[in-house]
Amino acid sequence: MDFNRDSFINGKLLLINKPVGWTSFQVVNKIRWLIKSSFDIKKIKVGHAGTLDPLAEGLLIVCTGKLTKKIAKFQNTKKEYSGTFYIGATTPSFDLETPINSKCSIKSINAEKLNLTSKEFLGAIKQTPPVFSAIKVKGKKLYEYARKGEAIQLKKREVYIYKFKITNINLPLVNFEIICSKGTYIRSIANDFGKELKTGAYLHKLIRTSIGDFKLDDALTIENFEKKIKSG
């Protein structure tokens, strides 16, 4: 892969392994700064094809230069994730961003029930986005309303689940794999999964392993990208 000035301006597709704790926007900003400072470029377009939450990790497609025009094409492809649900508790954000706000006994939970419940999510489903998300309503991001305790009515969205498999059970932790359409919130899957179990659940860990034909195994860490661009 060429790491030179012209390649970034003409358009390059980068596979980046986003670490936990970084926003997708921070990754884009870091890559843009590295390109500009390494090649003395005053202005260059850089964008990503599908947000990952700060607490999630894994594959992020980053496009530069003229290739940013094709971001929508990559956004519309299937996404694959692996991760872990915590069964028996809920959080307002549906993940670890906010503290637990309710707990429930999980004595009734077993492998059969978990596997049967996962099958109920296959195909076209409707889900409500998490209130702690970056979706904009009336010019403000949802998490801005949520952090102020302001209630916002949200419409359910239809998404498609191609695969939902329970891969390991070590209660209260349950590992899973999901293949889904654009716009699917895995945090909402976790919350709805807990509702179906009647115990509550939240997303404990999430890794995006593929976007369309692009795989996490082929992605660069931010550190490796920085080394390559400085030596390239």
Catalytic residues: 53
- Beta-carbon count within 10 A of 137 CB: 13
d(CA 145, CA 187): 18
- Beta-carbon count within 10 A of 185 CB: 21
Please give the sequence-ordered ranges of beta strands (E in DSSP) within 7-155, or none if there are none.
Answer: 13-18, 46-48, 57-64, 79-87, 89-90, 102-103, 123-127, 136-137, 140-141
- Beta-carbon count within 10 A of 38 CB: 17
Q: H-helix or E-strand containing 191?
A: helix 186-197
